[in-house]
Amino acid sequence: MPAKIPVIVSRVTRALTPVQFQHLADVPPELEWFANIDNEKTRRAYKIDLEDFTTFTGILAPEDMRTISRSHILAWRKKLENEGSSPATIRRKLSALSSLYDYLCEHNAVTHNPVKGVKRPKSNSNEGTTPAIGDAEARALLDRPDATTLKGKRDRAILATLLYHGIRREELCTLRVKDLENRQGVAHLRIFGKGSKIRFLPAHPVAQRLINEYLDHAGHGEDADGPLFRPVRNNRTKELNKALHPNAVYENIVRHYGEIGVHSLRATAATNALDHEADIAKVQEWLGHANISTTRLYDRRKSRPEDSPTFRVRY
């Protein structure tokens, strides 16, 4: 007679009711995939892209995604092309859908990824479309905030942090005072990047000096766990002990002084580093890119006008 499998009974009060337990057990993997996307912007973009696809196909329930074939994907791609969607938009939408089906394959919900084999539009260029500013314009941008005021000191420190380290605005807003730390005798910034990945960037002396000047004036340099960059006024709630919102960095600082986007400062930092012979693999790690092909979009050394054969022609 086979031995009975022992049943372990917990003496701890059950947190889930039987109904709640069964409900969670029945969660389809399609919803699990979406819940596992950490980045809020990525989640929002994928939600829009998948809603576009489900509206096109008439899918009503998550489980219906398992009935999709490659023909449905091809028809959706054709519809996007007819609507005039850019190649980059179509690639992004197909990528979102492919990510979902990769997850379903891993969890044995489907046998294959129907997006695989569907050709995606080619990029128009190997060069990124985000404009980078020149050295003189970068220096002028740093000089525009009024260095005699708290807001001016903060804004100069923010612009320097973006220009000298190439970080994203979301990464800048999550910086705490203690994230400016010494490692092996060198000041570093601890950056919390996409996918909850942490990287340490040596702090540029100019940025470090401007950050310290801002902290001395603001007076929160000893608040190690508090946000590094904070509002200087808050007419609505009066609360200043909080991090800046990424939209405020774009609208009230970068756009205000330079009429450019935050990503342009990231492109400027990457382009400048590569122009001055930084190793592209190191730049990839510095920027927090998962794939070096993304970093190559900032490598514009082959397209510098001064290197054109035009200026080698002699008559």
Cβ atoms of 24 and 74 within 8 Å: the answer is no
Phi, psi of 111 (to 5 degrees): -90, -20
**Half-sphere exposure at residue 169, Cβ-oriented, CA atoms within 13 angstroms:** 19
- Among 173, 193, 161, smallest CA distance to 269 is for 161
- 147 is written with which tokens? 């260095």
Residue located via tokens 């031995």: 3
The DSSP secondary structure of 253-264, one letter per residue, reads IIHHHHSS-HHH
Residue located via tokens 């910034």: 189
Cβ atoms of 130 and 260 within 8 Å: the answer is no
SS3 51: helix
- Among 305, 265, 304, 300, smallest CA distance to 138 is for 265
Residue 30: in which H helix or E strand, if any?
helix 29-35
Q: Distance between CA 242 and CA 230 in Å, rounded?
A: 6
Cα angle value 302/306/311 (rounded, 5°): 115
| Residue 259 identity | E
Phi, psi of 176 (to 5 degrees): -105, 165
Order of strands across the sheet that contains 186-192: 180-183, 186-192, 198-202
Question: Annotated active-site positions, please?
Answer: 168, 194, 263, 266, 289, 298
